[in-house]
Structures are given as C-alpha cells and as structure tokens.
Amino acid sequence: MFGHDIIVVGTSAGGVEALGILVALLPADLPAAVFIVLHIPAQSPSLLPEILSRAGPLRAIHPTDGEAIQHGRIYVALPDHHLLVEAGYVRVVRGPRENRSRPAVDPLFRSAALAYGPRVIGVILTGSLDDGTAGLLAVKRRGGLAVVQDPDDALYSSMPRSALTHVNADYILPVTNIGPLLARLAREPAAEEGAYPVPEDMELETKMAEMDRSAMNNGAPGGTPSVFSCPECGGVLWELQDGDLLRFRCRVGHAYSVDTVLAGQSEVVEEALWVALKTLEESISLSRRMAVDAHKRGKDWLAKRFEEKLQQTEQHATLIRQVLLKGENTTLDESANLVATEDKGNTVTNRDDP
C-alpha cells in the first residue's frame, strides 16, 4: 500500500520565506516527492531551487519535461511554465495561463490529483488572491489530503483564506508545523484509489493545461457559457461550478476565479483608459493648433468652434486622469461611463461654411 508520497505546494506573495521554513523541517529520507509552484514573473530568473537546496536536506531542481519522479526530491516550477504531474513523471509545459499566472497552482494540484488520487497532499501557503483553491478542491475530490497554512500565520492571507472558505481542510497549521506533519503523513498509508473515480471535467481541464489538441478542439470546456469574455483572448468564458466555488474557463484554456476575472477586467479597463487619454491629448493638441490657425486667417467663427471642442476635450481628459489616479478605488462602471463620455462629443471638421 502506498503512502501519501506526492506532495504539491502552492504559494505566491511571501512564499520564498514560507517555503524555506517548510523544507528546512523535512527529513533527508522523506518517502515522497515534493512539487512546488511559486508565482514568478515570466522573464525573471528563478533561484528558488538553489535557495531551497540550501535551506533543507532535500535537493531542489527545475525539472525537464518527462523527467522521472523520485522520492526525496523537490521539483520547482520554471518561470513561464506550468508544472504538471503524470503517473511516474513530470510535465513542463507552456499551457494557457490560469488565474493570470504561469506557472499556476491549480494545474499542478489538478494533475497530481488526476494521476495519484488519495496519495496526494495539497498544501496552500501564503499568497495573494485565490490561486490554488480549485486545485485543492480537486485533491479532495480524489481522496487526497488538504493542508492550509493558518491565515494568521501567513504573510499574505488571501490564498489560505480562500482555500479555507471553499475546502474542508484536513489540517490548518502555522508553517513551522507543516514540515513535520508532511513527514509523518508521507509514511501513513493512503486510501484505495478505486473509491475516488476520475471526474471527466478534471481530466478535460488537465488536458487543456497540457495544450492537448483533442481538448482544445472540444469547443467547450464544460459548464455553461456566460455573458463574460476572457480578459486575455476575448473569447467566451464558460462557468464552472466546484461546490460553491464559481470559476471560469475559455475554450483555449485560460481559467479564472471570480477574483482574478475582476482583476483582469480592471487591467483591461485601465489599458482602455490610457488609450482614451492618449487620444484625448492628441485631440487637445490638434484643436489648439487649428484654433490658432483659424485666428490667423481671420476666421474667428471657426476658431471659436475649435476652442469649444478644446474645452470639452480637456474636461474629458481631466476626468480620465482622475480615474487613473484613483486606481483600484475606481469601479468598472465609473471607468466605462467616463470613457463613454468621449463618444458623445461633437466632431469638428476643418472646412469653411458656404
């Protein structure tokens, strides 16, 4: 009988410190493999394997695609690549972002649950937003164990709190207690996998993370189509319901929680506002130039029209600057209404009346 020999760990903000504490307390003879996703910018070099190798007795590496899984080894996700687990080996893929991240926690947890079922321990540590919640639900659906850092112990509590809101965690502990717990659980027998059949939706989502063509050509990622569009590609988002957790996924595989959809929409709105401000500033410069030119040619009536347009456009530009300065305190509705005001302005053409 197998023990809980597949340990998957997800974290983001504050994660380097928490991971260092965790791995320092793992034994050198740990009868399990550890897989770690830490959110990291795509272009940033990752020194996490070196940091973790120095912090504890286990060797940490960035694995290669197809590398065999070994007990007593820590596998760390590469920047801009998802880390996935197959039966007996590791996958390293540049699949679609999930929760606006690559690597993301959910694909790792979901793939491990699919491949190893009750042998998996899912661990959620400090982090922002809620990546990892859906993955931890997948671990539980397949009979695995859920371990969550106590939010009061976490440097950033959002990820642990989200996990505890939606998942019936088996253990809630400060990070200093998680390492010894994992060492003990790894030696305890896991339940039989037959009691936890593989859900079709879990298999489909794992294939989408791998960019499997059959899954991509399926046309629908499960669930029901929503009225919302994907912040990354503009495609239709499909609603997926995991218990009381509402999620979204588009047909090419981008996946979001509610929080990350809102964050993505806010970024799209901000980009639109900057474009609108740039366009307004150009309109102001052109209107000012044309008003001066009209005055020089003695066409004061035309200059007046350009000056009126100039004044109106400056008011709109001032409003958009205020929205951008307010940042996250501005609602999406306020931003959309301010952008829409420019569409109601009058267009001035540079021609002489007959």
82 has catalytic annotation: no
Residue 268 predicted with pLDDT over 70: yes
Residue 158 predicted with pLDDT over 70: yes
Residue 352 predicted with pLDDT over 60: no
Q: Which of 5, 106, 130, 131 is catalytic?
A: 131
Average pLDDT over residues 181-193: 95
Residue 225: strand, helix, or coil:
strand
Average pLDDT over residues 204-208: 89
CA atoms of 295 and 202, how far apart (whole Å): 70
List Cβ neighbours of 344 (8 Å cut-off, separation of 6 or more).
Answer: none
Q: Are 93 and 84 in contact (CB under 8 A)?
A: yes
Q: How far is CA 226 from CA 200, 229, 245, 251, in A?
A: 21, 8, 15, 12
Q: Beta partners for 8?
A: 35, 122
Determine the pLDDT at residue 267.
Answer: 78
Edge-first strand listing for the sheet containing 245-250: 224-229, 236-242, 245-250, 255-257
Determine the pLDDT at residue 291.
Answer: 92
Determine the pLDDT at residue 153.
Answer: 98
CA atoms of 351 and 329, how far apart (whole Å): 43
Q: Are 154 and 160 in contact (CB under 8 A)?
A: yes
Question: What is the per-residue pLDDT across 298-344, written as a single tens digit (0 to 9) for each?
Answer: 999 999 999 999 999 999 999 998 888 887 544 444 444 544 444 44
* Environment class of 234 (CB within 10 Å of its CB; exposed 0-12, middle 13-18, buried 19+): exposed
Nearest to 205 by CA among 249, 261, 258: 249
CA atoms of 212 and 205, how far apart (whole Å): 10
- For residues 267-280, one letter each, b for 16 or more C-beta atoms within 10 angstroms of the residue's C-beta and e for the rest, the string is eebbeebeebbeeb
Q: How far is CA 180 from CA 24, 115, 197, in A?
A: 10, 25, 30
pTM over 0.85: no
| Token couple for 232 | 């990354």
Q: Which of 4, 5, 12, 82 is catalytic?
A: 12
293 has catalytic annotation: no
Question: What is the per-residue pLDDT across 89-98, written as a single tens digit (0 to 9) for each?
Answer: 999 999 999 9
pLDDT bin (cut points 50, 70, 90) of residue 167 is: very high
Does the bond joining 151 to the residue before it have cis omega, within 30 degrees of 0?
no
DSSP state of 156: S
Q: Which of 4, 39, 82, 254 is catalytic?
A: 39
Question: What is the per-residue pLDDT across 16-55, written as a single tens digit (0 to 9) for each?
Answer: 999 999 999 999 999 999 999 999 988 888 999 999 999 9
39 has catalytic annotation: yes
Determine the pLDDT at residue 218.
Answer: 66
